[in-house]
Each structure stands twice: as structure tokens, then as C-alpha cells.
Amino acid sequence: MNDKRQDKVTITEVAKHAGVSTATAGRVLGGYGYSRQEIKDKVRQAAEELGYRPNLLARGLITGKTKTIGVVAGDIQSPFYASILRGVADVTRAAGFGILLTNSDEQIERELEAVQLLREKQVDGLIIAPSDLSGSKHLQAAVRDGCPVVLIDRAIKNLAADAVCVDNRAASRDCITRLTEAGHRRIGLIAELERWEGGDITDFLSAVEGSALDSSTLFPSWQRLYGYIDALRSAGLPIDPDLIGRVGVYSSEGARKETQRLLEWSERPTALFTADGLMSAAAMDVITSLDLQIPRDLSLICFDDLDWMSFIKPGIAAVVQPLTEMGEAAARLMLSRIAGDDSAPQYLALQPKFAARGSIAAPLSS
């Protein structure tokens, strides 16, 4: 009852027990260096008997590798990050790596703390959904120090790091085009659209007009707005800023308010496009409480496929992001960087699938 301390079985004890040096014991147990089969057996048996367990801290201290990668997610509670993390975990686990997880809640201060902690814990690399797409001295520092960084879901302008994203602009454009082709001329958008360094929606519209905008380093919801604009322009339709529901924060309440504004409007849109899962759930809530029939009264397409979209009333058409695949791709990139690959940073833009369902119809008036 007194020996409930740590497992004090060290490699020295095993060596003593097996009658060899610690160096030899280390070689067979650690799987480096050479040794006779006879010795191997003896050492392994001693280790077994004593219940030896390697101390990965000590190993990491000397090798400089921890076989651990740090992950900074926005909020692991959201299906979005949960799925990505699952992909990361599967690939890293298969390679014998552990993952050290933190949530940033999309706040840069939290991200800074997280990255600092992870780096102090000597992770071999950082997979991160960055909260800020401009400054990020901490990520620059990581890259400079040789700590591999893989960005997820969004890219940073001048950072020499891999990024695994989704082609938000194209996917969004595709959705809106489906709606215009169905005959819709007034299509509402509900999107987060929190911060854009260039200003407000009007500024964004002009910037897009001037086409001097790199969509790959925008936050996803802005990329989706970009695709919305693309599609309307291709269809020769005007862009009514009042149809753009800018929620401004990532909140259900805000999304509900914006949806209400659009749908209770006398000139309400005949179709709606929601730019992410949270917005979709909030919008759906408003739609059912207003007793609007989909697709008779309103066509609907959602970005992100939530489970209820397949079994609710007529089915809700959705953009299916390859989330687990994103995580897997990010992890694979990370592993190859850790393995020494120092080729140019890769920007991976995965293509989402489209789940066509019964929520799209021609507008009533037409």
C-alpha cells in the first residue's frame, strides 16, 4: 500500500535484471542499434517481468521529437471541428502520434495561449484553424523555428505553411446558380460575415467588382458571399445588399434575427442560401415557426449537411464538406513535413459534394 508511487521501473532496472548495460537494454527496447537475438530475448523478458514502460518524456527530451501534434480547433463541440478532428486523429494514431487538443473559440488571444502551450510541450507540429488571417506573428515564429504548421479551413496570406481548405467560392456559386436556373431572382443569403479587413459589405462589393481580391485568404463566409455574387453576376441579376443577411457574429440568435428580417419582408426572397450549419439550424427554426412550406413558399440550400436535412419534410439540399477528409489530408501533410519534406507549401482546395434534395423548386410567382 505504500508503493503507490509512479511506475519506477526504468530502463536501468531492466538492464540490471537482464545483466546487460543500460545502453544495450535501451537498444533492444527502443528498437535502434543492434544486438544478439539471445540478448534481445533476455532484455525483453526482463522488461515484461518488471512491467517496464518507456518514459516518452525522457525520449522526447533527447530525440527532440515527441510524436505528438498540437491541434487548435475553434470549438470542438461543433460538428464541423469534431469531424475534422476525427480525421486528424485517425491518421495520426495510425502513425503512432498523439494529439494535444485546444479550443480557441476563434479568439486570437486564446489561440496565442494555445500555441504557446503546445510549443512548450514540444509538439512536433501544429494543425490549426487560424483565428486571424493577417498578423499571426506566432505562426510565423513557429514556421521560422522549424515547427511545421498546417492550416485548416482558411489560409493566411504570407505564411509559408500548408493549408487544407474547401473551394467555398465555387461551391457557393454552384448553389446559387442552381437557384437562378430554377427561376429565382431574389435569393437571400444568411452568413456570418464577421470581419473583413477591407470594410463592410459595400466595400466588399466594390472590391469584387474591381476583381482585385484573392478569395483564398478570405474567411469562409466571405468566400461564400463571393460565390453568391459570382453566380448572380453570371446570371445577369442585380445584387441587392438588403438580401445579404450579415449576421456579424457566430450566433444562433443573430442568425434567427437576420432570417426573420428577410422572411417577414414584404418583398421577401423566394429562395434562401445559408452559409453554414449554425445559420441553417437557426434559419430552419424561423422557417417552421413562420409556417413557410419548403419548397412551395421558399427554396432552401444549406452549406454543411446536418443529419436532419436528409429526413426532414422534403429534404434540404446541402453542400457536403469533406470534413473528415480535410482532417486526414491535414494530418498526412503534417506527417510528411515531420518526416522532412521541405518542398513548397501546398494549398489544398477540396471539392465539396452537393446533396440534391427536395428543397428546390421554381418560385411561386413565376
Partner DNA sequence: TTGTATGCGTTATCAT
Partner DNA sequence: ATGATAACGCATACAA
Selected range binding DNA among 19-27, 172-180, 277-285, 336-344, rule: CB under 7 A: 19-27
Question: Which one of 16-24, 165-173, 210-218, 311-319 is the stretch in contact with DNA (CB under 7 A)?
Answer: 16-24
The item of its own copies, DNA, none sharing an interface with residue 23, based on CB under 5 to 8 Å by kind, is DNA
Decide: 354 and 140 in contact? Cβ < 8 Å: no
Pairing label, strands 98-103, 125-128: unpaired
Location of C-alpha cell 454552384: 174
3-state secondary structure of 349: strand
CB 233 within 8 A of CB 197: no
The item of its own copies, DNA, none sharing an interface with residue 356, based on CB under 5 to 8 Å by kind, is: none
Establish if 12 lies at the interface with DNA (CB under 7 A). Answer: yes
61 touches DNA (CB under 7 A): yes
Q: How many whole angstroms separate alpha carbon 226 and alpha carbon 215?
A: 8
Alpha helices in the chain (DSSP H): 11-18, 22-30, 37-50, 56-63, 79-94, 108-120, 137-144, 168-181, 201-210, 220-234, 252-263, 277-289, 308-311, 323-338
Site string (122-151) toward its own copies, x via CB under 8 A? x------------------x--xxx-----
| Site membership for DNA, residue 11 (CB under 7 A) | yes
For CA atoms 171, 249, 294, 260, give the dihedral sign.
negative
Binding-site member from 17, 27, 186, 246 for DNA (CB under 7 A):
27
Cβ contacts of 113 within 8 Å, gap of 6 or more: none
Confirm or reject binding of residue 41 to DNA (CB under 7 A): no
Distance separating alpha carbons of residues 209 and 205, to the nearest angstrom: 6
If DSSP codes are grouped into helix, strand and coil, which group holds residue 265?
Answer: coil
Task: Please tell me the distance from the alpha carbon of residue 20 to that of residue 25, in angstroms, as a whole number.
Answer: 7
CA 277: distance to chain centroid?
A: 13
Can residue 21 be called a binding residue for DNA (CB under 7 A)? yes
Angle between helices 201-210 and 220-234 in degrees, nearest 10:
60
Selection from its own copies, DNA, none that 20 binds (CB < 5 to 8 A by kind) is: DNA
Least distance (Å) between residue 6 CB and DNA: 7
Member of 120, 214, 267, 291 binding its own copies (CB under 8 A): 120
Residue 364 binds: one of DNA, its own copies, none (C-beta under 5 to 8 A by kind): none
Q: Does 118 bind DNA (CB under 7 A)?
A: no
Contact map string, positions 268 to 307, toward its own copies, x by CB under 8 A: -------------x--xx--xx----------------xx
Binding to its own copies by residue 320, rule CB under 8 A? no
User: Which residues contribute to the site for DNA (CB under 7 A)?
Assistant: 6, 8, 10-12, 19-24, 26-27, 29-30, 32-36, 38-39, 52-55, 58-59, 61-63
> Which residues contact its own copies (rule: CB under 8 A)?
4-7, 51, 53-58, 60-61, 64, 66, 68, 75-79, 82-83, 85-86, 89-90, 93, 96, 98-103, 116-122, 141, 144-146, 281, 284-285, 288-289, 306-308, 310-313, 324
